[in-house]
Amino acid sequence: MTLHRVRTFAAALLVGLAGGGSAGPGPAVAVAGDRRVEIGDPIDDVELRTLDGKKEHFLQKGLPANVFIFFRADHDRSADTLRDMAACEKEFEKKPVRWVGVVSDSYSADEVRALVKATGVRMPILVDEGDALYGKLGIRLHPVIGMVDRKGKLAAFEPFRQINYCARVTIRVKLLLGEATEADVARVDDPAPTPLPHSDEGVSRRHVNFARRLHDIKQDEAALGELQKAIAILPSAGAWALRGQILAGQGKCPDALRAFDEALKIEPSSTVAHDGKRSCGK
Identify whether 97 is part of a domain.
yes
**Mean pLDDT of the chain, nearest integer:** 84
CATH number of domain containing 252: 1.25.40.10
Residues 61 and 10 in one domain: yes
Residues 95 and 150 in one domain: yes
Identify whether 159 is part of a domain.
yes
Kindly indicate the confidence band of residue 198, based on its pLDDT and cuts at 50, 70 and 90.
low
Residues 134 and 209 in one domain: no
pTM confidence score? 0.59
Distance CA 39, CA 16 (A): 18
Identify whether 195 is part of a domain.
no
The parent domain of residue 62 ranges over: 3-189
For residue 51, the one-letter residue type is L
Distance CA 248, CA 66 (A): 41
Residues 125 and 223 in one domain: no
Of the candidates 189, 216, 231, which is a domain's last residue? 189
Identify whether 69 is part of a domain.
yes
Identify whether 259 is part of a domain.
yes
Distance CA 116, CA 123 (A): 9
Identify whether 217 is part of a domain.
yes
Identify whether 68 is part of a domain.
yes
Of the candidates 189, 220, 239, which is a domain's last residue? 189
Of the candidates 189, 208, 230, which is a domain's last residue? 189
Q: Specify the pLDDT at position 195.
A: 56
Report whether 46 contacts 133 (CB < 8 A): yes
Residue 159 pLDDT exceeds 80: yes
CATH number of domain containing 111: 3.40.30.10
- Name the DSSP letter for residue 255: H
Kindly indicate the confidence band of residue 11, based on its pLDDT and cuts at 50, 70 and 90.
very low
Residue 28 pLDDT exceeds 70: no
Tell me the torsion sign for CA atoms 116, 132, 148, 160. positive
Classify each residue of 259-279 as buried b or exposed e, where b means 16 or more C-beta atoms within 10 Å of its C-beta: bbebbbeeeeebebbbebbee
Q: Specify the pLDDT at position 184.
A: 92
HEC string of 161-207 equals: CCCCHHHHHHHHHHHHHCCCCHHHHHHHHCCCCCCCCCCHHHHHHHH
Residue 178 pLDDT exceeds 80: yes
pLDDT in tens, 43-99: 989 999 999 999 999 999 999 999 999 999 998 999 999 998 998 899 999 999 999
Identify whether 76 is part of a domain.
yes
Q: Specify the pLDDT at position 26.
A: 33
Residues 244 and 175 in one domain: no
Total tally of structural domains belonging to the chain: 2
Q: Specify the pLDDT at position 247.
A: 94
